């Protein structure tokens, strides 16, 4: 499923060949990151309530560290 057409991308993001576009997944999310439904490495069962509690503050801190590591500054 395509969320944006090429024309939409130019309108919302800019000229992609000229600008780099980075997108980060949410820690604990279900789209590619390890989360509560992901199997635990020791017993293969879902993490469930054993998964560490994450706050919005934790997620923002992780994204700030990512942008710092990539050298992206506002």
With a cut of 70, say whether residue 58 has pLDDT above it. yes
Confidence of residue 42 (pLDDT cuts 50, 70, 90): very high
- Stretch 54-70: mean pLDDT: 90
Task: Note the pTM of the prediction, 2 decimals.
Answer: 0.56
Asked which of 8-22, 36-50, 53-67 is least confident by mean pLDDT, the reply is 8-22
Q: Which two tokens stand for residue 32?
A: 């590619």
Please state, in angstroms and rounded to a whole number, the distance separating the CA atoms of residues 15 and 18: 5
Query: Rounded to the nearest 5 degrees, what angle is found at the Cα of 21, between the Cα atoms of 15 and 23?
Result: 150
């Amino acid at each position: 499923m395509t969320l944006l057409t090429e024309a939409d991308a130019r309108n919302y993001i800019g000229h992609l060949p000229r600008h780099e576009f980075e997108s980060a997944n949410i820690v604990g999310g279900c789209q590619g990151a390890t989360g509560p439904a992901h199997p635990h490495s020791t017993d293969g069962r879902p993490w469930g309530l054993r998964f560490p509690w994450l706050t919005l503050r934790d997620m923002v801190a992780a994204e700030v560290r990512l942008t710092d590591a990539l050298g992206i500054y506002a």
